[in-house]
A and B are shown apart, each in its own frame.
Chain A
Amino acid sequence: MSKVTGRARFADDLSFHGMLFASTVYSQHPHARIKKVDMSKAMDIPEVLAVITPDDVPGSNGVMRGFLVLAGEKVKYVGDGVALVVAKSETAARKGRDAVVVDYEPLPPVLSIDDALKSGASLVHEDKEDNIISKSRYQLKKGDLERGFAEADFIVERTYETQFVAHAYIEPEVVIAVPDFNQEFMTIYGSIQNPFSARAAVAAALGWSVGQVKIVQNAVGGTFGGKDECAILNACRAAIASIKTHRPVKLSLSREESMVEGPKRHPYRFNFKVGVKKDGSILAMKSELIAQGGAYNNKAQFTNWRASIHATGPYNIPNIETRVFGVYTNTIYGGAMRGFSSPQCIFAQESLMDEIAQELDMDPLELRRKNALSPGHTLPDGQLLGEGGLPAPLPDIIDNTARKFKYSKPAQPQEGSVKKGIGIACGFRGAGLGAEAGADATGAIVTVQSDGSITIVSGLTDNGQGLKVAFSQIVAEVLGVSLDRIVYPTTDTSIIPDGGPTVASRGVMIGGRAMEKAALEVKKKILVVAGEILQLDPEKLTIENEEIFSPDNPEKRVSYMDVVSRAYATGQMLAALSWFSTGVPEFDYETGQGKSYPTYSWGMVITEVEVDTETGLVKVNRALSTHDVGTAINPAAIKGQVYGGYVMGQGMAVLEDIEQANGFVKSKNFDEYLIPTAMDIPDIDVLIVETGDTYGPFGGKSVGEPGTEMAAASVANAIAQATGRRIRNLPCNLERVFLGYNLTRQGTAR
């Protein structure tokens, strides 16, 4: 709400007494050895107080699996920071930045997946044997692939590619480091998605223990997974500058700096080979996925693992072999972005489904109906669906979505140059982190204060997705009190144990479970005190509308406030720190078989477009986005997530692409990196499906990422249907739609 009224204070709104400003000297080359850094001219500027290089890093210069606070020996992409200028004003800091002279010896850059894999390619990381990201290899094996191919009537082979996509959050990264002058203690304020990851990195860079660093998350102007590595590196730089100058230091990135330095959605290449029967049943699917990681990697091992489970789609394919790995390149890097490899996988997978349907001359809807994972089938990881297993609502979702959309394939051929197309995409999404990195766990603190207000603390953060509202609702519901009593302070790493990052749509699923557990413990304590007052067995009591009573004897009751007063008078604590963990799942990383995720969310999107085949202009007319959310905790918030998610997917489908030339970023601001505006947004309808899944709090499941991950695929499929030409690399921009392939880059025209 404060964001709507303008009262919200973002990190850049904060100011501290004596605060200095810093600006990063960025690399001028995608790949080069640093020969000399001459800071004398910068130091001559009166307002410049310090220039910081890797020699000034008191702790570890390497953080987050190989990222560098500042590059010392060589730069690996144009977003590498080489030095940091600290000055009394932002203007002076930028002037100082421009006055630092760096002498480079350029090295041949590795710019693409093909470059990275070429024999004799230069090495992005010279301490490694090749350009393949270590620990980024995963595989999934199910059934007998060769037998599947042998039994197939025909084989389809296709390759698809996706692009670097920016999060396009409205607020670029801002961090402020504030030192404590009485002790070794540092507070970082900032637009940071994952405070605990930031705390670990800042502590490592300073050479301190994590307890000496406190991260306070401010109101965040969008993140979608992105306010992570880049924000954290800048937090490290600000902290080091703050130690060196004994002053608070602010580092506020311009849009251009944010676009060049920050993470993006990983580009992927997909090589598919599929064996299909004449009746449309898919017998075998082999897929090889290669992620372009960019200069540094902190996420491909996770995005790739997720991709290895999801790459073959929500279909009943008995024989599967999926292999995935990532490569380093001297380009901007891939990180977490809403969907975490799924938007890429679903684009490729669902394009493939449409191409199979075309080969069979079958309606694409019919092909999906035929192969949809249904009760009695097993997931790619081997988990059972239906009776005794996980919910399998996809067949119903397909039917209900098609009916609500009034789906019918437009008659072909169409008259005129403007042609209509309808595109389908189905998807499933493992909820939470799953077996990505061991157990998925987080904590929550619920404290009833003496005035009856209830303070709740989660280790997870509200990044605009409405987590605060959802958690407040959960606690108010469990305790039977008014929502007005809930106080939810800003996330602070010093008051709750590390509960991991707010990613993977785990906010409500995992964080909500911890919150529910803490609230239930507090409820128990309230009932004990109420039992003392009422002289009744606490086990038999219940709370409703702030009154505690026994349903057997409802006349005898006591108010919530009287219980709180007594608890404080008699020295009883009405607070709980609770922890929820999925436990370490049983999962075999060699075969990809086991309990990949505790449950899945299912969905489908249908999109109708109009394509002007003489210009390549695509108009998205209308879309229906269906999502299985278990139980809808906040239907308005779900719709909000889906509307925004759809538009992000639409942008990925037709517009968005970080243009790069020889490793240099060309689209640095929103005049060149175009995202859809309000004028481009179609009518979006949301169909919420409740499956009675028991896993999340009150049965709630993820929707943050499902809302975006199928949209691009549905738009691409609609365009292909309208034009009769398949674009196998995103985005389907004007030229590709007009031509069927891209002029400047290699494309694959049919």
Chain B
Amino acid sequence: MEKKAQYFAPSALEEALKLLQKHQLTVIAGGTDLLVQNYEKLPALGSILDMSRIDALKGIEVGKEVSIYTLTTHAQLEAHPWIKEKLPFLAAAAGEVGSPQVRNRGTAGGNIVNASPAADLAPPLISLDARVFLQKGNEERIINLEDFFLGPGQSVLEKGELLVKVVFKPPPARAAGCYIKIGQRKAQAIAITSVAVLVEMAADGKEIADIRICLGSVGPVPIRARKTEALLQGASRANLPLKEACRILEAEIAPMDDIRGTAWYRQQVSKTIFRRALMQALAHGEVR
């Protein structure tokens, strides 16, 4: 006999963590990935832990560090005044997710734990050196977001563990970012390739003091282009080694053929959008 599925909707995080210790539960937040992936076999999800009533996991805190709590929706992220002003590229990435309906339901935490290499929030957050706070029972661990992903749909998240928040340091004033995504249409498109570039200029405004580059959809996980970063570190804005950077970037990514595009196309266009994102980030940096 099949066991009857149960539905839990606790309002406290502690209660949710306890329930996860006690039962085999499928965790649902906005449901924009989970329900789509399972819509023909919903009974297979078994018992459900609905996170949506845990108010402590909603919202964004800005202080010495920025904390985006797991249930923050893409719409909230996109419209948050501080994010919009200081990190427009992160707001833009949130605005690239799905459609208004999806952005109203879908959550930042869900976008990450779904562990899609095409997740729109991953490249900008990784370029911000974000960490994720994971909790299981009473135990908390902190992982670099870059290390969170293991493969398509796979992450370090353990059974019974919840992603509580994403945290990063606000970048210095001389930094600027850019996110560019290529999809087949303007909305409700999964990235064929995407890139986030965060550049920090030296005090004289002439050299790149620091740069972080992360690409989506061009490998099994979001890919940080460290070798390309190393080349551009300290490079002078007037004399950027763009060709060489593109050559290195091409070797750092490992795209595949799939229904949305071929590996070759991804390889070529990733270089284009990287170049554009870098130039735009530099231009934004200049404005400040």
Contacts and interface: CB of A to CB of B under 8 A. Distances in A.
B259 A666 contact: yes
B259 A672 contact: yes
B273 interface: yes
Contacts of B190: 671
Contacts of B99: 677
Interface residues of B, number: 23
A655 B184 contact: yes
Interface of B: 36, 40, 43, 99, 182, 184-190, 192, 257, 259, 261-262, 264-265, 268-269, 272-273
B185 A734 contact: no
Interface string A725-740: 0000000011100110
A735 B187 contact: no
Contacts of A677: 99, 185-188
B69 to A, nearest CB: 28
Contacts of B265: 616, 734-735, 738-739, 743
Nearest to B99: A677
Contact of B182 (A617, A672, A674): A617
A679 B262 contact: no
State the majority secondary structure of interface residues on B: loop
A616 B265 CA distance: 10
Given A667-B259, A671-B36, A672-B259, A734 B268 contact: no
State the majority secondary structure of interface residues on A: loop
Nearest to B275: A614
A735 B185 contact: no
A738 B186 contact: no
B261 A735 contact: yes
A21 to B, nearest CB: 15
A144 interface: no
Contacts of A674: 184-185, 189
Interface string A701-732: 00000000000000000000000000000000
A739 B185 CA distance: 18
A659 B185 contact: no
A744 interface: yes
Chain A interface extent, by class = 20 to 34
A614 B190 CA distance: 19
A678 interface: yes
A680 B262 contact: no
A572 interface: no
Nearest to A417: B272
A735 B259 contact: no
Contacts of B262: 735, 743-744
Contacts of B272: 614-615
Contacts of A671: 36, 190
A659 B269 contact: no
A676 interface: yes
A659 B99 CA distance: 24
Lowest 7 A-B CB distances belong to which pairs? Answer: A679-B186, A679-B187, A614-B272, A677-B187, A735-B265, A743-B262, A680-B185
A691 interface: no
A562 B99 CA distance: 58
A672 B261 CA distance: 11
Given A615-B182, A680-B186, A738 B269 contact: yes
A680 B183 CA distance: 12
Interface in A245-280: 254, 256
Contacts of A614: 269, 272
B151 to A, nearest CB: 20
A614 B187 CA distance: 20
26 contacts: A254-B40, A614-B272, A615-B269, A615-B272, A655-B184, A666-B259, A667-B259, A672-B259, A674-B184, A674-B185, A674-B189, A677-B187, A679-B186, A680-B185, A680-B186, A680-B187, A734-B182, A734-B184, A734-B265, A734-B269, A735-B261, A735-B265, A738-B268, A738-B269, A743-B262, A744-B262
A655 B189 CA distance: 12
Contacts of A679: 185-187
A738 B182 CA distance: 12
